[in-house]
Structure 1
Amino acid sequence: MNFHGKTVVLADAGREDLADRLRALGARVTDSLEEPADLWCGSEPDEDVWRLGIPMLTEADLYELLLRGTPEPGPGDFPGAGVPGGEPERVHAVLRAADWAAFVPERDLPPLRETLTALERAHGVTPAHLLATERLVERGARLRHPYARPAFGVTGAITGFALSPSGRHLATGHWHMEEERGTLQIWELATGRAVNAVAGIEGGVGWPGCVDTVQWSADGSRLALAFRTNMVGVWDPFGAWLNPYGEANVTDGNDSAATFALAPDGRSAYISMRSDHEVMGCVAALDQGHVFFAAQFGDVEGPLPELLPEPIPGEMKSRLDDGEWFFDQVWYSRDGKRLLGHDHDFACAVELPGGRMLWLAETGGPAVWSPDERLVAAVGNGRLVVLDANTGHEIGSHPVAGAPYWGMRGDVPRLAVVMEDGAGVGIHDEHGGFRYHLGIETIDGTGADPHSGQELPWAWAPSGEHGACLTSGGRVEVWSLGAEPELVRSAEAPDEATAVFWGDGDVLALAGERALRFVRAMTGEVLGDFVFDLECDVEPPVEEDALLDDVFGADSFVLDEEAWCTIAAPAVGPAAGLVIVPGDRLAELDADLAWTVERRFAWPVRWGRLDVVPDAESARATLERASEEL
């Protein structure tokens, strides 16, 4: 980032070192918003700055930019997937000779990580691992822990989650109700580690009992959140900015999370709200800053949302109470030209723009669309029905009570129905025909009611050949679903887990209100296991607002009830590997810490060197020595 000629607002007083560094780069530094600014920096987001559309960074992220800059790409090629396996000396020689300036994380990091994982299995951590980590840290890898939180607060309960379209990342939204703030975290499934976070989101993320409060764009580059009770905003899931691209407040003070659907391109969303038309709701921009709209008063700030003025056709209207339609849960079609959703007992499709209702069908319960958008399934009044998604006509049914979950085997949809009262799971063909029953004692929540909480007890494998289900006994079962079903694996789930996701590489993510675990579906290997907001009986080694020196703050988290761990904020430059932790807890660091690359990939902390010290005084001495050496 070029700071020359830019005006930077430092909201927190007393950071003269930061101000001096900015001035040396040609920036004008101020502590107020009395005149236009190009960048704002503080401990967490500021609502007034947010509304003005000024880019916001935390102090730690700004320091990171100043300390390491932006590495320039080199002219050569990095071997990437061509790094050979085999003997440690051979791998070390190839990595030592490689042009690391040509390293492209998206292309090169996953295969290199696989090669070094195999090398570690055969030989342990070798000089090749240490060299690769050293080069990645030089290129900007940053130490991170999984318990991101607002300043002077805690992470908070998980109130929303969503798997990315690629299956490589999980987004979790958190809400600390007492502090009225929230946190967004991004997790890499391949490693089971947190790779990015936005802390201090005003009003928290999600709402108790509400689903779909976290949604990805079709290409995985944008992430929408229901936040601050009834607002919707879109963030960069892999960026450093605290700001959303845009936000919309259009529900006239609704007292729970907005019902919304993110458009495939991530630049707008359909949001349910009352209007003067028969099909309620509007399409609001989420890439143009702040949008406010109060339909009944005609008040508008920002771009005017698009309403849905087309009247409901007479026959359909006669079947609806009050002759109007509100979506209770809603999705966009992949081409962005239709809204698909339900209002509990009815399902419908609505054309965009305009809102013309294409069909309306009584289902008796919430409906879900197949991934290929050809079919609709719903369970209500003790009956599974499958509809043609283009016409709403029924094409199959079966008597059962529960919640339907679509999967795909090749280009053919498959259905699982998680049955009520722990009665197991039924597997059905695309037309609802019964195939066989899985004798699983399922958890109480089937996920049938979109207002029943974060309940997703079933997940299909991307191949459609397997499924995973949470059990009432606190486990997750993995089943092979070929001609005959077969139990493949049973693994322990975290306490009170309510949701399971099947991601890329056959990694399961198991989530509860305050717990998250990543498990390999086929082996049961635990990749990551985290419990949020643990309490500790001892005081942290560094006070929350204390500095380790003129530059680096302290970022502490609880290891367990007996110990804390602290890394630097930011963990770059001379503080890249600094860790304050009791000496007898070193072996536990790999379970919580990771190097993160481009806020997208994680790298095992055990593959690098850490500067481990027992207390803050030792940390300050270590930083002083490292700064002198630099």
Structure 2
Amino acid sequence: MPMPAPFVNLTQLVQCSDAELEALLEQADFENLEPGRDLPPLRERLLRLERERGLTEVHRRVSDKVLAAGARLVETPRYIGMQHSFALSPDGRHLAVASNRLDESHGGDVRIWELATGRVVDAVGFETTLVGSTREPSCLQWSPSGQWLGVILDQVVIGVLRAFAGMLPSFTVDVTRRWGSPPGWGVINPKTVENTGHLPAWCWSPDETQLFISTPGPDGALGCIVPFREGTRVNEDSEGIRWCPARLDGQPSKSRPHTWVRWSPDGSRIQGYCKQEFVLEPHTDPEPEPHPSASAIDVRSGDLEYRFDELKLPVAFSPDGARLAYGEESPRLANGHTGRAMSVPSKDVDIRILAVVEYVWSSDGRRLAVLINGYEFPQVLIFEAGKLLCQMDLKRRSFGLSLKSGDLGRWAWSPDGSMGACLLREGGMAEPWKREGIKVELWKVGPSPKMLRRLEGASGIDGLAWGADGMLVGTGPHTIAFWDVNTGEQRFRSSLELEPGRVPPPSDWNPWPDEVARFIPTELGWDFTRAQPDGTVECPPGSREKLEPRLMFSVGGRHAWPWRWAEGTRHARWADGAPSLVEPQAEAAFEERRVPVPEGETLEARDARHGKWGFLRQYQAPTRPLNHYKAEPVFTHGPAISRANLTPYLGKGVMLRQTQYGTWYALGTLLEVSDEGILLHPRAPIGSYRERLLSFRDILWIGPAVPLHLHSTDG
């Protein structure tokens, strides 16, 4: 069926003056508006108008017409828990992200971000279910058409939800609980975890009618093929499951299930690799060591076509599965259909390779980027048809950190394979765990490669994805950023962590206890906010300026339309009031205490007292829960956390946070400060209990505890 004519001449829309724009849009036929085709250029033109003239009546009139057919208000979150699973949509316009909840309860969220705006357009919350995983890649996957989104739930189940619908999964697969799950060698007492299930690798069939689940099965099977039908729940006893016996040359393969799998585009085979293959033959001495392997399962028979036991990590199959790049000491290629070695692409390259850190194929499989740590400096080697096309020297830089899940890499190809984006850190390879000085470099790839520009604002980024329409997205555990690669402009960036010195507010301060709390910090408290699907927003006046840029209508579930453009219409309004809140109890925030010092104390007893309480005889003990305080001033990781800065707060209550990835907080009394660390009472939740002091190295931020108030002071 042909698409209806555009609601307006799109060429005129882009090129017309501001004066002509109003008349053009008055004559437009909004009944013919096709969001996928018409909304992006319309939105860009209105953004330009806003930059030049501010919000106008045109924005309101157009919003009224665009939103007339219905749209959901979605808030791009300010604070969320750690992001860990990522998947770029097949059309390159959306990024799906699975994340924890901020308070680390047993819940999580799947959000879909629009690359063109850098805003969330769809979100599905799981109140008691963990989503995705940090342990393995591909826990979150789009179907080939982009209509469906599958995600691992509670480390065991695969749930499939309809993309852009804001609804929980309508199809689940739970087949990993019966045959060695989790693997017996992975736990001390396997009997205690029988039938608990394990994290499976999985993939879609090209026609979206089936899923393959990599898991131990009956009689040595290495996985099963299950039919995909919306509205059904599949388990090990369901009809229609077909187990893959995984025989090799007519004999049981004795292989381990794949760690990562993909269905070949022609539908004939399922290819993948196993990180720890362990094939134990009888009467072998010594017993073989676990090793990586690659293999392919014939879909028709369910047997292995081959097993490639010479595999070395890292590894990457080409998009069509025909080639397999692998090896750490030097890049190698193997035939993805047979497992036979093909070539050593680097044999003619004059470079001493310390380690290959990543392989990235272009989307058409024509080119291969090999990220190498050399003995002198890192390089990116580009191969085409198995031959070296060019190499990029990255002197005085080093590669950024890699995502734990491996879903996104430190190199991202442009859709046509002519350019690449590389995630780099200023300075050499010393202290590679640091996230400071992160930059994204855009390179023109060819016989004479050229660095085109550097993109700023990449701190906290561990992985890149190059989408459609010249949009690049960078992600990390607590950061997400979006750039227009044609101009270098950063469209949006968000640090999803609480600011240093803050922890989530008390849950009983949330005026809407049946909803996930949304909040904005104020000087000595929190402003709670709520965005209703109908466009009503509840937020104290003092925080509206911070909230407003994150409010977007989701048109068709896919396209973000700024809420501010509709303010003053029937679709968007600030609510006047909010539920009355209960004032906190008036007890003192700190209690003054004395350390008992007996008369005639022996030297041995004095040393014991100093070991427990430092040299203090009087101290200040916090009396309220940790989330009733903030740290102010706050000293962050690095030179600021020092003896000179902390000594003035001896005997005072302090707050601190430990580690980089977790949310381990502590509240206690600062008893002693040395050149290396602190003595805290009670002790911080993590740290070496062999050491008396908590090392400065283990503290992300610290500061004197200041009591919070329920009501904000700036509203």
TM-score with structure 1 length normalisation? 0.73
Is 1:271 matched with 2:213? yes
Number of aligned residue pairs: 514
Distance change in 2, residues 1:173/1:539 (3 Å): closer
Match of 1:158 in 2: 83
What per-residue deviation string (whole Å, max 9, x for no partner) do you get for residues 429-481 of structure 1? 2315362133163346457xxx7666621111112111112223322222221
> Which of residues 126, 146, 150 in structure 1 aligns to 2:76?
146
Tell me if 1:546 matches 2:512. Answer: yes
Does the Cα contact within 8 Å between 1:407 and 1:415 map onto a contact in 2?
yes
**What residue in structure 2 maps to residue 283 of structure 1?**
225
- Counterparts in 2 of 1:577 and 1:92: CA distance versus 1, 3 Å: farther
The 1:616/1:199 distance shift into structure 2, 3 A limit, reads same
Write out aligned runs for 1:586-597 (5 A). Answer: 586-597=544-555
Q: Deviations over 1:520-548 (max 9, x none)?
A: 2243322122222526689799954539x
- Mapping of residues 218-617 of structure 1, within 5 Å: 218-252=144-178, 253-254=181-182, 256-287=198-229, 288-293=231-236, 300=237, 302-309=238-245, 311-313=247-249, 323-344=254-275, 345-361=292-308, 362-380=310-328, 382-397=329-344, 398=346, 400=353, 401-408=355-362, 413-420=366-373, 423-431=378-386, 433=388, 435-439=390-394, 441-443=397-399, 445=401, 456-472=409-425, 473-534=437-498, 544=510, 546=512, 557-560=518-521, 562=523, 568-572=530-534, 576-583=535-542, 585-609=543-567, 611-612=573-574, 616=578
| 1:69 alignment partner in structure 2 | none
How many angstroms does 1:245 deviate by? Answer: 2.9
* CA contact 2:201–2:213 (8 Å) conserved in 1: yes
In structure 2, relative to structure 1, the CA distance for the partners of 1:248 and 1:79 (3 Å cut) is farther
Structure 2, unmatched stretches of 5+, are: 183-196, 276-291, 348-352, 426-436, 581-715
Give deviations 1:211-258, integer Å, cap 9, x for gaps. Answer: 111111111111110111111111112113223333334344436522
Contact 1:95-1:131 at 8 Å conserved across structures: no
Amino acid at match of 1:210: E
CA distance, structure 1, for counterparts of residue 48 and residue 531 of structure 2: 32
1:482 offset after TM fit, Å? Answer: 2.3
1:428 maps to amino acid:
F
Letter aligned with residue 330 of structure 2: R
> Using the alignment, how far apart are the partners of 2:446 and 2:172 within structure 1?
45
Query: CA-to-partner distance for each residue in 1:161-180, whole Å, 9 max, x for gaps?
Result: 11011100000001238411
1:78 paired with 2:34, answer no
Give the Cα separation in 2 of the matches to 1:269 and 1:111: 37
Q: Is the 8 A contact 1:407 1:462 kept in 2?
A: no
CA 1:615–1:496 in 2, change beyond 3 Å: closer, same or farther? Answer: same
Alpha-carbon RMSD? 3.4
Q: How far does residue 340 in structure 1 lie from its aligned partner after superposition? A: 1.2
How far apart in 2 are the matches of 1:439 and 1:133? Answer: 47
Instruction: Write out per-residue CA displacement over residues 586-620 of structure 1, whole angstroms, 9 at most, x where no aligned residue.
Output: 544453222221211012334332534675279xx
After superposing the two structures, state which structure 1 stretch, 534-543 or 244-253, moved more.
534-543
Closer, same or farther in 2 for the Cα pair 1:230/1:145, shift >3 Å? same
- Farther off after superposition, 596-605 or 79-88: 79-88
State the AA in 2 paired with 1:246: T
1:26-59 per-position Cα deviation (integer Å, ceiling 9, x unaligned): xxxxxxxxxxxxxxxxxxxxxxxxxxxxxxxxxx
Is 469-478 or 497-506 further displaced after alignment?
469-478
SS at match of 1:138: coil
Deviation of the 1:564 alpha carbon: 5.7
The structure that has the greater radius of gyration is 2
Counterpart for residue 709 of structure 2: none
Q: Which moved more, 1:255-264 or 1:509-518?
A: 255-264
Q: Verify the 8 A CA contact 2:311 2:326 in the aligned structure 1.
A: yes
Q: Corresponding residue for 1:125?
A: 55
Residue 303 and residue 515 in structure 1: after superposition, are their counterparts in 2 closer, same or farther (change >3 A)?
farther
**How big is the shift at 1:395?**
2.7
Q: Which residue of 2 aligns with 1:90?
A: 20
Say whether the 8 Å CA contact 2:323–2:334 is kept in structure 1. Answer: yes
Q: What is the TM-score with the length of structure 2 in the denominator?
A: 0.65
Aligned residue identity for 2:384: D
Q: Secondary structure at the match of 1:117?
A: helix
AA at the equivalent of 2:398: T
Unaligned 5+ segments in structure 1 are: 1-74, 149-153, 294-299, 548-552, 619-630
The alpha-carbon distance between structure 1 residues 351 and 219, as it changes in their structure 2 partners (threshold 3 A), is same
Per-residue CA shift, 1:117-144, capped at 9, x if unaligned? Answer: 3444554433222211122233223332
Aligned position for 1:134: 64
- The answer (yes or no) to whether the contact 1:338–1:352 under 8 Å persists in 2 is yes
Deviation at 1:504, TM superposition (A): 1.0
Paired position in structure 2 for 1:174: 99
- Seq. identity, %: 28
Inter-partner Cα distance in structure 2 for 1:128 and 1:613: 24
Q: 1:101 & 1:579 partners in 2: Cα distance?
A: 32
Paired AA for residue 458 in structure 1: W
- Structure 1 pair 384–111 and aligned structure 2 pair: CA distance change class (3 A): same
- Paired with 1:132 and 1:555, the residues of 2 have a C-alpha distance of 32
How far 1:278 sits from its partner (Å)? 4.5
Shift of 1:489: 2.0
- Residues 412, 271 of structure 1: alpha-carbon distance in 2 compared, 3 angstrom cutoff: closer
In 2, distance between residues paired with 1:349 and 1:188? 35
Instruction: Specify the alignment match of 1:12 in structure 2.
Output: none
Measure, in 2, the Cα distance between the counterparts of 1:452 and 1:555. Answer: 27
Q: Deviations over 1:323-347 (max 9, x none)?
A: 3242121111123221111124322
